Amino acid sequence: MAELLYEGKAKQVYATDKADEYIIHNKDDATAGNGVKHDQFQGKGVLNNTISCIIFDMLEEAGVKTHLIEKINERDVLVKKVEIFALEVIIRNITTGSFCKRLGAPEGVVLEQPIFEMSYKNDDYGDPLINDDHAIAMGLASREEIAFIRQETLKINELLKAFFLELNLKLVDFKIEFGKTEDGEILLADEISPDSCRLWDVETNQKYDKDVFRQDIGDLIETYKAVLARMQK
């Protein structure tokens, strides 16, 4: 049995016989509100893994370097070992969620240009929003690393918007993470799935993401299956 190195809300990370490679196992857990709301949905890990691999393959083909090496099976992927930046990187294209709650902004406004945000990845403090100077002062990343992450994230946003628009979905916002290899290369890591993106139908604004779980407005598994079905057409 491989050594379990880390267990998060939705994933387990295992060692391999190669020092620079890990296996990520996708669990069936769903959480919201920094883990305050928690449930399990049979098959969720399979759906997340499948969707994320399709998206990462698309991004790789477009020149975005990721930690993904290969999909091993329906739940597990082989990835390059990276040290994850303690930063959650967020892009907002349309106003909703915490942005509206924090600022009193109306929901559903299409922004003239995307908003780039970072939060300190720390559940104990509620993943607070930080700026570049905070991140540098805390040693979370250098100014050059933040500049690269910002540039790469905006590129990823344009690629994802076009990808989802082909599926008749609007990319409202998303959260991603980056990691650094031992030789200093910065790679897109973690996952991109309806867990980490908000997706609205172009015509109806029906939600196709984890908000159906957060807000108790639909069936999470059927919602994720519907996203995958659009991707596989």
Name residue, tokens 């609007």.
Answer: 170
From the CB of residue 172, how many other CB atoms can be counted at a distance below 10 Å?
Answer: 24
Name residue, tokens 């973690």.
Answer: 190
Strands 129-130 and 169-180: unpaired
From the CB of residue 114, how many other CB atoms can be counted at a distance below 10 Å?
Answer: 18
What is the per-residue pLDDT for 1?
58
What is the per-residue pLDDT for 170?
98
Contact 85, 177 (CB under 8 A): yes
Sort residue 132 into left (φ over 0), alpha (ψ -120 to 50) or beta: alpha
The DSSP output letter for 204 is T
Cα gap 214→177, rounded to integer Å: 21
Query: What is the separation of C-alpha 7 from the centre of its chain, rounded to a whole number of angstroms?
Result: 17
The DSSP output letter for 62 is T
- Pick out the chain residues at pLDDT < 50: none
What is the per-residue pLDDT for 138?
97
Buried b or exposed e, range 57-68, using 16+ CB within 10 angstroms: ebbeeeebebbb
What is the per-residue pLDDT for 17?
95
What is the per-residue pLDDT for 33?
77
Q: What is the pTM of this model?
A: 0.95
